Amino acid sequence: MTTQAEPQVTYRMSIDGQARESSSGEVIEVRDKFDGALLGTIPAGTAEDAQEALDAAPDGARAWAATPAHRRAAVLKAAAAQVRVDRDVLSAMLSAENGKTIANARLEIDTTARILEGFAEEGLRLFGQTVPLDIQEGLESDLMLTVREPLGVMVGIVPFNFPAELYAHKVGAALAAGNAMIVKPPEDDPIVTMMLTEILHRAGVPHAALQVVTGYGHIVGQHLSSSPDIAAVTFTGSTEVGAIIAANAGRNIVRAFLELSGNDAFIVCDDADLDAAVEQAIAGRVYANGQVCVATKRIMVVRSRYDEFLERLRVRVAALRTGDQRDEATDVGPLISVAAARTVEAQIAASVEQGARLLVGGTRDGAFIAPALLEIDTRVGIATDEEIFGPVFSVLSVGDLDEAIDLANASRFGLNAAVFTSDVTRAIQAGRRIQAGIVSINGGNAYRPDVAAFGGYKKSGIGREGLGYTLDEFSQVKSIVLRGV
């Protein structure tokens, strides 16, 4: 692949109000995932850099918590407005550094603005209660008031697949609730998070209330999340790293909110609208090049409709276009790295070894995986229950909905699920039985309304994120009791 003219943009960390390089002098190069062009460098932060941010954060937390809620909301709204103004620049950078299509990147930037604005609004409704305590014998003349207070200093660790949107979910919520936040961006595509941080600072967030320490997870992320001086860590990423974060936080009695991996089921019943099901299966698997926690990862089709569904899906998968993520006609761009594509290639090979039939695609070219259609059975994937993070459609036939639900629930994960049926009773029953944070009826897995309580059952996470939920988690209740009034 050719390398274009290489602009040298040096991005710096934001620590204690200063734009900083790494104390080691080391940098990480961030490259376009299609042509390898250098987009810029970020500092490879050290544990000492992370510690400086931790030391500066309490002042930021105090200053921001003392800022009136209406002012905090105004700052977040101004930042959201600026994200809309900068939409084209932010989307272009996100698409280049991540590899997701420009259309997907625009969608993510639009969501980012909406989420920042949504949390600004939610921050204006952090109310407590007035509780007359005559509900309990002996306390007849007492009155209890509850107020919600910020947690303090929070650490936010962001994954590569939705760096802008998940930054907004973490930073927007933390700031709206009056906390200070130290962000650790993903190392493969951090630039959009640096740009968003600059927008928030310019909008009026004090530098000490929002700091960014870039670098590798096992160094910077590890140091920040193991600090006994933070109040909470909010992490989105793999279940493996989530377990490390939980252990670090647990040792220090620090709250850990974890949004982790998934292996979502997509169930097609005998009475399903197959046009809708095929459409949603495609949309749910190619979105962000298949690198989505809630992607359609295990498609289960009831036997009587299996052949028809498989044939329709085969035609659609074979027609998907891979290519430059900037090309509006591209369906699937490059994965985040050649190493990530090699992992998917190996998972396809292992599935075939276990008995899967590769019907379409599956070859690797650099960071590209040709969209693959894999016919599997219960010995494959479900037995190993591995998350495949790429454009791989794994399909298996099942006897009926009950069998599909049992297989869905056999997974150690439980993020989202999708069920296609025209029978309302069946739909509700399936919705109640499937162990997942969101069950979508006649829609795909990659479904996340801003207000939904988004989060995992089982090894997919701890806690719920969403406009109506995160602020409860990112704040704490204090009760003030008036006796004898």
Active site residues: 259, 293
- Of 113-121, 259-267, 345-353, 422-430, the segment contacting ligand NAD by CB under 6 A is 259-267
For position 461 contacting ligand NAD by CB under 6 A, the verdict is: yes
Q: Which is nearer to ligand NAD, 72 or 169 (CB)?
A: 169
Q: Which residues, listed in sequence order, are joined to residue 396 by a DSSP beta bridge?
A: 300
- Of 128-136, 156-164, 367-375, 466-474, the segment contacting ligand NAD by CB under 6 A is 156-164
Amino acid at 389: F
Binder of ligand NAD out of 123, 217, 361, 371 (CB under 6 A): 217
Q: Which is nearer to ligand NAD, 316 or 464 (CB)?
A: 464
For position 244 contacting ligand NAD by CB under 6 A, the verdict is: yes
For position 351 contacting ligand NAD by CB under 6 A, the verdict is: no
For position 165 contacting ligand NAD by CB under 6 A, the verdict is: no
Binder of ligand NAD out of 157, 256, 373, 446 (CB under 6 A): 157
For position 245 contacting ligand NAD by CB under 6 A, the verdict is: yes
Q: Least separation, in Å, of the C-beta of 245 and ligand NAD? A: 6
For position 111 contacting ligand NAD by CB under 6 A, the verdict is: no
- Of 144-152, 239-247, 309-317, 325-333, the segment contacting ligand NAD by CB under 6 A is 239-247
Considering only residues 283 to 322 of the shown chain, the ones binding ligand NAD according to CB under 6 A are 293
Within 10 angstroms of residue 431's Cβ, the number of other Cβ atoms is 15
Binding mask 394-433 for ligand NAD (x = CB under 6 A): ---------------------x------------------
Q: Least separation, in Å, of the C-beta of 28 and ligand NAD? A: 11
Binding residue count for ligand NAD, defined by CB under 6 A: 30
Q: Which is nearer to ligand NAD, 305 or 364 (CB)?
A: 364
User: Please, which residues have CB within 8 angstroms of residue 239's CB and are 6 or more apart in sequence?
Assistant: 260, 261, 413, 459, 460
User: Please, which residues have CB within 8 angstroms of residue 203's CB and are 6 or more apart in sequence?
Assistant: 75, 76, 78, 79, 82
For position 218 contacting ligand NAD by CB under 6 A, the verdict is: yes
For position 186 contacting ligand NAD by CB under 6 A, the verdict is: yes
Binder of ligand NAD out of 214, 261, 325, 394 (CB under 6 A): 261
For position 442 contacting ligand NAD by CB under 6 A, the verdict is: no
For position 99 contacting ligand NAD by CB under 6 A, the verdict is: no
Task: Compute the Cα dihedral for 228, 205, 236, 216 and give only its sign.
Answer: negative
User: Rule CB under 6 A: which residues touch ligand NAD?
Assistant: 157-162, 184, 186-187, 217-218, 221-222, 225, 236-238, 241, 244-245, 259-262, 293, 387, 389, 415, 456, 461
